[in-house]
Structure 1
Amino acid sequence: MINEEIRAREVRLVGPNGEQIGIKPFREALQMAVDANLDLVNVAPQAKPPVCRIMDYGKFRYEQQKKEKEARKNQKVVDVKEVWFRANIEEHDFQTKLRNVVKFLKDGDKVKCSVRFRGREITHAAIGQRVLERVKTEVQELSVVERQPKLEGRSMIMILGPKTGQ
């Protein structure tokens, strides 16, 4: 809240340079802000009495937006990439898909490894389990298992996350 939006009889006032002015009646604090050609900003409304600061509110908002933008720029959005395997996958196909898993993990993305069972393959879920266990052992130095292999419907799913501190 700024200027006339503040609803308090008296406020603890902080000057434009951060110095403590003391407890003042609201009207007097507002007049001091107007005289300095600045705004009276309520920085701690829950305090008794509320703490208000004399500052340029437009400049303050601009600085806050700049800080938020910088913080968003430094964030890394983690995607979940999915790699499908088959229960009876051939060696070359397995290596190709494994290269994709390694690439995704090195890029810092999570990887959802899935084995899709078709037809009567579902009766041999242990074969799909072995495929996922092999993937896990092949990339154990790059990843951490976030979710162990688990059968969900006609798919067995395992989630790998990149190891931190690389």
Structure 2
Amino acid sequence: MKKELKKQIVEELSQEFTKDVSVFYADYKGQTVQNLEELRKAVREAEGKARVIKNTLAKIAFANNGVEVDFEENNIFIWGEDQITLAKIITKHASKYKDTFKIKGAVVEGEVKDTAYVEEVSKLPTKEELLGMVAFMMKAPIAKFAWGLNKLIEKKSEQ
């Protein structure tokens, strides 16, 4: 790879790997092209990005943002703003392909996190799920009030 191309990639990644973005990395050794395309498609649908990047270029990009990370072996990097959805996608892929896809960690808000963190985040409800819960909780008292009024009207009409 030419030096100019490497510089361009590092600049691009430095802009992408800001504190607003969660970056997950995993070992993909043994994955087929179809498996990786399946992962990339799911990540794109979640408005994220997935890319295989040389470790040295990724280290430099993170260092440009003040984060020191040490990578080993082959890594695929998955990043985006919706940390929970991406964590769910990655853990689902890892459980489906246990032998060939292993989550190594993440960089979230400028801090390096381990595999356990990624798995815990994947168990949290997404923004849409939380909004649904809030809507249900707001609807419940109104529904009970309407039910009570309906029963009162029925009782009055019987008399």
Same fold (TM over 0.5): no
Q: Which has the larger radius of gyration?
A: 1
Query: By percentage of residues, which structure has more strand?
Result: 1
Query: By percentage of residues, which structure has more helix?
Result: 2
Q: Could you say which TM-score interval applies, normalised by the shorter chain?
A: under 0.3
**RCO higher in structure (CA 8 A, sep ≥6):** 2
Q: TM-score, normalised by structure 2?
A: 0.23
Q: TM-score, normalised by structure 1?
A: 0.22
